[in-house]
Amino acid sequence: MTSTTTQIPGYVVGTWDIDASHSTVGFSVRHMMVSKVRGYFREFSGEIVTAADPAQSTVHATIDMDSIDTRQEQRDAHIKSADFFDVGNHTVMEFRSTAVRTHGEDWVVEGNLTIKGITKPVTLALELNGFGPDAYGGTRAGFSGKTDISRKEFGVDIDMPMDGGGVVVGDKISVELEIEAVLRAA
């Protein structure tokens, strides 16, 4: 019988720091019932621990809510207001994993997401992109993740109905992560 780690090419056990300059925390939401607005957070950090048994691995990440960027300053200011994220009172979004499991050739990371002081379980579909050396003598790992959340479940429950039906901002938020992490020196 072979271990799970031998089935993951180049798997490296260790503690990793998310490299925010080479990573993206992005999202999209339905707008005006006809299109999607995309945005991202510029400031975030986190730690990933890859365990000898991958199912024992963990993730903890924080996002600076004031760093939201949808490429439109007026919209960003409104999203930071009490109508949406209330950044004056809730400066950080946090994710802490509770379980990691395989799903075919990919992975699922279950965890608790906290937005506006409200914590709810979320399930992240995760693709392990690989491990390898970097140009500076270190080691890098790459991960892609996706999940959908309901903004209303996290207290972001503003309703802006449109004439004729529908809403200006949808409830479902699609979250997409492209994470590059650097192995900490021993």
**pLDDT tens digits for 98-152?**
999 998 888 999 999 999 999 999 999 999 999 999 998 999 999 999 999 988 8
Mean pLDDT across the chain:
88
Among candidates 59, 89, 71, which has minimal Cα distance to 27? 71
User: What are the structural domains of the chain?
Assistant: 4-183 (2.40.128.110)
Q: In whole angstroms, what is the distance from residue 29 CA to residue 170 CA? A: 6
List pLDDT tens digits, range 47-74. Answer: 999 999 999 999 999 999 999 999 989 9
More confident residue, 32 or 45: 45
Q: In whole angstroms, what is the distance from residue 115 CA to residue 153 CA? A: 9
What is the torsion angle, in degrees rounded to the nearest 10, for the CA atoms of residue 95, residue 98, residue 103 and residue 107?
40
Using CA atoms, how far residue 83 sits from 63, 88, 176, in Å, is 19, 11, 23
Residues 96-100: contacts with CB within 8 Å, 24+ apart? 96/59, 96/60, 97/57, 97/58, 97/59, 97/60, 99/55, 100/54, 100/55, 100/56, 100/57, 100/58
- pTM higher than 0.85: yes
Neighbours of 142 (CB within 10 A): 17
Q: In whole angstroms, what is the distance from residue 40 CA to residue 22 CA? A: 13
User: Structure tokens of 62?
Assistant: 């924080």
